[in-house]
Structure 1
């Protein structure tokens, strides 16, 4: 008996949405979980032709279930979460 892999929903805004061509996507996570700090590498691997995506994700902030995350090294995604990529905003 096998069950479907747990998934997260990743919301893309601004430059991240432009780079991926998506407003959001559902991404499977391993049953043991995935560190939020590992998510950018996984997203880049899913969008190899996305222009400048790695830089965009490196400079972005993250929220999980509408809560801003200060240190992605200490957040493990287990499945069911909504993760938002919050790109830097420029303006004057």
Structure 2
């Protein structure tokens, strides 16, 4: 990570974890990175694994709070970001 980057922790749950083969990952980003661009960045880090399809139906949480509008969230570094996949039950 260069001095001009920030770092966040991404938590992968359920189908997201299965797709990328990880439960957690530290990701370096440019400063003032918008959450709405994180999905595309993660897909570029993990191409051809199906993460793109998982993210289409998933939600995001930042520091254990669900995000309603990803366009409004600017990451400053140090955040814990979770990909919350839909859950079905019976």
TM-score, normalization by structure 1: 0.90
SS at the partner of 1:25? strand
Tell me, yes or no, if structure 1 residue 5 matches structure 2 residue 5.
yes
Do the aligned partners of 1:12 and 1:22 also contact (CA within 8 Å) in 2?
A: yes
Distance in 2 between the 1:42 and 1:81 partners?
Answer: 16
Shift of 1:40: 0.5
Do the aligned partners of 2:59 and 2:83 also contact (CA within 8 Å) in 1?
A: yes
Consecutive unaligned residues of structure 2, counting only runs of 5 or more, are none
SS at the partner of 1:40? helix
The total of aligned residue pairs comes to 89
Do the aligned partners of 1:10 and 1:26 also contact (CA within 8 Å) in 2?
A: yes
**Partner residue, 1:60:** 58
Within 5 A, what are the aligned runs for 1:1-92?
3=3, 5-31=5-31, 33-50=32-49, 52-92=50-90
Distance in 2 between the 1:14 and 1:3 partners?
Answer: 33
> Structure 1 stretches (4+) deviating beyond 6 angstroms?
none
Consecutive unaligned residues of structure 1, counting only runs of 5 or more, are none
TM-score, normalization by structure 2: 0.92
SS at the partner of 1:54? helix
